[in-house]
Amino acid sequence: MSFFKKLKESISGKTESVTNKFKEGLSKTRDMLVGKVEDLIFRSKKIDEDFFEELEEILIGADVGVNTVMKLIDELRVEVKKRKIEDAAELKPILSEKLVALLRSSADTSLHMAESGPTIILFVGVNGVGKTTSIGKLAYRFKQEGKKVLLAAGDTFRAGAIEQLEVWGQRVGVDVIKQQSGSDPAAVMFDAIQAAKNRKVDVLLCDTAGRLQNKSNLMEELNKIYRVIKREIPDAPHEVLLALDATTGQNALSQAKLFGEKTGVTGLILTKLDGTAKGGIVIAIRQELDIPVKLVGLGEKMDDMQEFDSEQFVHALFAGMIEQEVKETE
């Protein structure tokens, strides 16, 4: 059975609405990456050095990452020689198969939940990446699952951050534990944990500051929050999720490296994937960091925050090719 058919079958048991969300959310990346690859394959009479150079440029343009692209191109050269491939069209399933392999991870991409008591999820990341929106959407998701959710307004430094979280709390129908702007974030976390215990809350989602006077101040503040949480619930936080804006491409990778080293990040949320043609950054992050992408933002709606799924991701990118092959073989 061909790779494309296997890929289609592997996601056939998954919810159609989720498959469609990945397809719609990755349309810009699909046009940029796969559209250009298809055009290159259509124009190429043979697989030569010029072909590989142009393919390299397309992949780097979609922010797949230079190191990853070099490795991928080398592997494709080996396959071409080994299989004696002359027709460029034969590379399509090989390329997509290799992308799935690059995205696959032995790391657990599901969210870790507490066995008993409240699950504490800490959100970190610089301002403007969609952190608060991610908290709101995840709160909505948990509430839809029947869980009791509480939010903690730990970003007390940015003007409007507390109000922004309150707006999400009202939209979703969950309470927000807060103090005045400028107050100690660690004190907010302490109050929120006490409230979560008293109210028998299932999930406490904690916002944090994205910027202080300098990076060391920010990391110090996050460590203080971390210590307070651990003191109150020793096995918490159960997740430390770093929100990254996919539209910033390689800059998102730099942020992931900084926060990953300093704050014990357990997973990544890649926001605004629907707003960028550089969705290849998911592949670069997967290859260069030992931190799993756990959630992706695929649109503006409340339910557009989805668990990351490597097969859905690649299926969404190569959807046109897959449908075409299925039709041809029916």
Both structure tokens of 102: 């690059």
Tell me, what amino acid is at 201? V
Helix 3-10 vs helix 319-329: angle between axes, to the nearest 10 degrees? 110
Could you please report the per-residue DSSP string of 239-281?
EEEEEEEGGGTHHHHHHHHHHHHHH---EEEEE-GGG-S-TTH
pLDDT digit string, tens, across residues 197-255: 999 999 999 999 877 545 667 778 888 999 999 999 999 999 999 999 988 877 888 88
Q: Which of 86-95, 132-141, 297-306 has the lowest mean pLDDT?
A: 86-95
47, 131: one domain: no
Q: Which of 95-104, 130-139, 319-328 has the lowest mean pLDDT?
A: 319-328
Rounded Cα distance between 307 and 265, Å, is 17
Q: What phi, psi does 77 have (nearest 5°)? A: -60, -45
Q: Look at the chain and report how many structural domains it folds into.
A: 2
| pLDDT score recorded for residue 143 | 95
In a domain, 1, yes or no: no
33-37, 72-76, 167-171, 220-224, range with greatest mean pLDDT: 167-171
Helix 91-103 vs helix 281-288: angle between axes, to the nearest 10 degrees? 50
Region 5-13 average pLDDT = 65
Q: How confident is the model at residue 139 (pLDDT cuts 50, 70, 90)?
A: very high
pLDDT for residue 260 is more than 80: no
Region 304-317 average pLDDT = 84
Rounded Cα distance between 133 and 169, Å, is 11
Q: Which of 89-103, 172-186, 266-280 has the lowest mean pLDDT?
A: 89-103
| pLDDT score recorded for residue 253 | 82
200, 272: one domain: yes
pLDDT for residue 308 is more than 80: yes
Tell me, what amino acid is at 239? E
Region 315-326 average pLDDT = 67
How many percent of the chain have pLDDT more than 90?
A: 34
In a domain, 8, yes or no: no
In a domain, 289, yes or no: yes
Its pTM stands at 0.86
| pLDDT score recorded for residue 213 | 46
235, 141: one domain: yes
Q: How confident is the model at residue 121 (pLDDT cuts 50, 70, 90)?
A: very high
Region 120-138 average pLDDT = 92
In a domain, 276, yes or no: yes
Which residues on adjacent β-strands are paired with residue 153?
A: 207
145, 174: one domain: yes
pLDDT digit string, tens, across residues 44-102: 878 888 999 999 998 888 888 888 899 889 999 998 888 888 888 888 788 878 877 77
244, 293: one domain: yes
State the CATH number of the domain containing residue 97.
1.20.120.140
pLDDT for residue 24 is more than 60: yes
237, 283: one domain: yes
pLDDT for residue 132 is more than 90: yes
200, 53: one domain: no
| pLDDT score recorded for residue 258 | 78
Both structure tokens of 252: 């998102």
Domain span at residue 176 reads: 119-309
42, 95: one domain: yes
| pLDDT score recorded for residue 214 | 54
How many percent of the chain have pLDDT more than 70?
A: 89
| pLDDT score recorded for residue 109 | 79
Helix (H) or strand (E) holding 203: strand 203-208
